Amino acid sequence: MKIVVGISDMKVSNKPEDMLITYSLGSCIGVVIWDPVAKVGGLLHYMLPDSSLDKDKAANKPFMFADTGIPRLFKETYKYGAMKNRLIVKVVGGSQIMDNAGVFNIGKRNHAVLRKIFWKNQIMVAKEDVGGSGNRTVSLEIGTGITHLKVSGRGEFEL
């Protein structure tokens, strides 16, 4: 079954026939994780770096922010038997519109926070396709761990 992950949303599955997909990542970031042994995978689509912006919103929609969404993504897959040291982690998105003043660097800030969280928790990123000015659609096949990425102007390919 195709399971669509919206903006500020997260889905996890261990059904081999499932495919998780999120459309149109602009400055948002998509985090794809998959455990090849437990065959469980998850996809997070967060929009902003830091939940301190609005605690109420973060409580309501934890997947809106990197710092509240990323830990939940990992923990949710652990429930299905995933183990941190086995998880294959892929990161996509974080584009930005062209602005040399850096005011619209939401994508860059989103990515910076993710790197900090991963560094602190010793999580390695296997594959990454971040930045630029294209928008991206990413999908994960739960049975195989195959991740497809579509980027405007660059076509569709396996990540």
Partner 1 sequence: MSRLEEILSLVKHVPPFPKVAHRVSEMLQDPNVGATELAEVIQYDQVITANVLKICNAAYFGLSRKVASLDEALVVVGNDTLKDIIITSSSARYYKGPVGEGYKLEQGDLWKHSVAAGIMAKELAKHVQEVSPGSAYTAGLLHDIGKRFLSSFVADEFKQIMMKVVKEGCSFVDAEKELLGASHAELGGLILQQWEFPKEIELAVLQHHDPDALDKDPLTAVVALANALVISMGIGVGADGLATSLRGAGLKRFGITPMHLDLCMANLLEEIDRAQELFHL
In order, the DSSP letters of 3-35 are EE--TTEEEEE--TT-EEEEEEESSSEEEEEEE
Segment near partner 1 (CB under 8 A), from 25-33, 66-74, 83-91, 120-128? 25-33
For partner 1, the closer CB: 121 or 133: 133
**Considering the complex, what minimum distance in angstroms separates the CB of residue 26 from partner 1?**
4
Residues in the chain: 159
| Choice from 13, 14, 68, 95 touching partner 1 (CB under 8 A) | 95
For partner 1, the closer CB: 47 or 159: 47
Query: Is residue 116 flagged as an active site residue?
Result: no
Instruction: Report the C-alpha gap between 44 and 1 in whole angstroms.
Output: 18
Query: Where in 4-23 is the site for partner 1 (CB under 8 A)?
Result: 7-8, 23
For 119, counting Cβ atoms within 10 Å of its Cβ (0-12 exposed, 13-18 middle, 19+ buried), the class is exposed
**Considering the complex, what minimum distance in angstroms separates the CB of residue 47 from partner 1?**
6
For 41, counting Cβ atoms within 10 Å of its Cβ (0-12 exposed, 13-18 middle, 19+ buried), the class is buried
Tokens of 39: 């065959």
Query: Where in 96-155 is the site for partner 1 (CB under 8 A)?
Result: 96-107, 133-135, 152-154
List contacts with partner 1 (CB under 8 A).
Answer: 7-8, 23-28, 47-48, 53-54, 57, 61, 64, 95-107, 133-135, 152-154
